[in-house]
Structure formats: structure tokens, C-alpha cells
Amino acid sequence: MPLTADVRTRLIADSAEIIARYPVPRSALLPMLHLVQSEEGYVSPDGIAFCAEQLDLTTAEVAAVATFYTQYKRHPNGTYTVGVCTNTLCAVMGGDAIFDALEEHLGVGHDETTPNGAITLERVECNAACDYAPVVMVNWEFFDNQTPSSAKGLVDKLQSGQPVAPTRGARSVCSFKQMSRVLAGFHDGRADEGVGAGPATLQGTLLARREGWTAPEGPQQRRTEAAKTDPDATARRPIGTILPASGTSTPKQEG
């Protein structure tokens, strides 16, 4: 369906704001794709043509980017994208079982949308939340330590229109279109709603502190320590010289 006059007017105004953030217009392509997706719920052929027109690109160039990244949808998406991580750790901890349970419960497979348009189910790649595996994402908000039962309860609430709160971070889940606008770089008034890290995330740091573990010295640390004992050493050393590891001799400088 072609872009309506109202939608096109909004897109032109918003795209001007996006393009102004970058030194050259073509650099604005990624947020521009999120922008058209925030209006249509996916990146349509007309959305691709709009981005190409605004950024002086070919439709082939825009389509090449839109088909590369999985966050850009090439067909209408549900109100909520429910992504189940099935990468190694989440899979071992039950991610595959969660996906199978949701697939049967919702009656749709990967990248398919329920008949009521509420949920698009996906297998997703690692979301860097392995400390809370298995993890389910709803429009890229975290739902940690899930089970097949809890995940089915989650999608039931989404389909019934009940408010749903992520495990951490934002206080509530917004729609796919709203999240696409946020990813385009527009504020939604919900910034810094909550801490993204939690107790499990901090366990490594707490363990290292308790055991007195420290990271091995790197070149910069060795230079800093050397400067403390010989303040003039850094000034005399040619640019790019790397100090040797502790216990070795300094290479002879030619000339």
C-alpha cells in the first residue's frame, strides 16, 4: 500500500531531523529504516523507495541493507516480537524447549505472526544476557530465566492486552512500532527507567574482589609504572615503543 499523504509528511519531517545528525546523508540509512518501520510496522517497498529518495541512494542499495539486518522486517510484523534465544547457553538451559512450546502454543513458527496480529515469534541470536539464560525478548526488552510455562503465560498476557513488565530495564513493554521509533533515535520519555544489570551480572566482579584477583598488566600499565620511577623515560622513548614485559631487558635503540 502506498504511503499516505499524512504518513509521508511525518516521515519527511522526521527524516530531516535524522539526516541532520550525520556528516553525509547516506550515513542515516539505518535509523531511517527504523523510522519507516515505525510507521508501517515493517519495511515496505514504498518505505525502501522513500529512504532511497531522501538519501540519494538506489532502491537496490537500501534493500541490500534492509535484508541484511534481522531487526528490519520485510513483511507486516506483529504488535510484539517475541524472540527466544536459542544460541548455545540459552539452548542448553532450555531455550529450544521454550521455542518449541511457544510454537505449539501460538500455532506459528519462526518469523510468523499469529492470526490476530499480536505476536511474531522468532528464534533470535545471543542478546548478551547469558547470565540470565534462558532469555526471551519482547520487542528487545529482557525476560530472564524463562521456562516453557512462564513463556506461555507471557504471550497469553500480551495477546489479551494486559500490561507486561520486563525483568529489568524498562517498566513496561511498548509496541513494535513504538520501539522502532526509539531505535530511529527519537526519545520516548522512558530513558533510564531502570538498571540493565542485576545480581547475576555482577557475580564475576564480586568474586574477583573477594578473592583479590586482578587483571594482568598491559603495555599501558607498564608504561605508567615505569614513568613513576623514571619520569623522563617516556619523553626519551621514541613514539610507538612498547615496554618489554617484566623481567626482560630493553631492546637497544639504534643510533
Confidence of residue 252 (pLDDT cuts 50, 70, 90): very low
Say what percent of the chain tops pLDDT 90.
Answer: 69
- Judge whether 155 and 96 are in contact, CB under 8 Å: no
Write out the residue range of the structural domain in which residue 24 sits. 5-66
Q: Write out pLDDT tens, residues 198-216.
A: 788 888 888 999 999 988 8
For the chain, where are the E strands, in sequence order?
Answer: 80-85, 112-113, 119-124, 136-138, 141-143
Q: Which of 38, 66, 94 is the last residue of a domain?
A: 66
pLDDT of 170 reads 85
Number of domains in the chain: 2
The answer to whether residues 27 and 114 belong to one domain is no
Q: Which of 66, 89, 107 is the last residue of a domain?
A: 66
Contacts of 45 (CB under 8 A, 6+ apart): none
Tell me the whole-structure pTM to 2 decimals: 0.78
The residue with greater pLDDT, 188 or 157, is 157
Q: Write out pLDDT tens, residues 58-73.
A: 999 999 999 999 999 9
CA dist., res. 16 & res. 5, Å (int): 17
Nearest in space to 124 (alpha carbons), one of 168, 69, 186, 165: 69
Any domain includes 75: no
Any domain includes 39: yes
pLDDT above 60: residue 249: no
CATH number (domain holding residue 153): 3.40.30.10
Confidence of residue 250 (pLDDT cuts 50, 70, 90): very low
The answer to whether residues 158 and 98 belong to one domain is yes
CA dist., res. 144 & res. 193, Å (int): 17
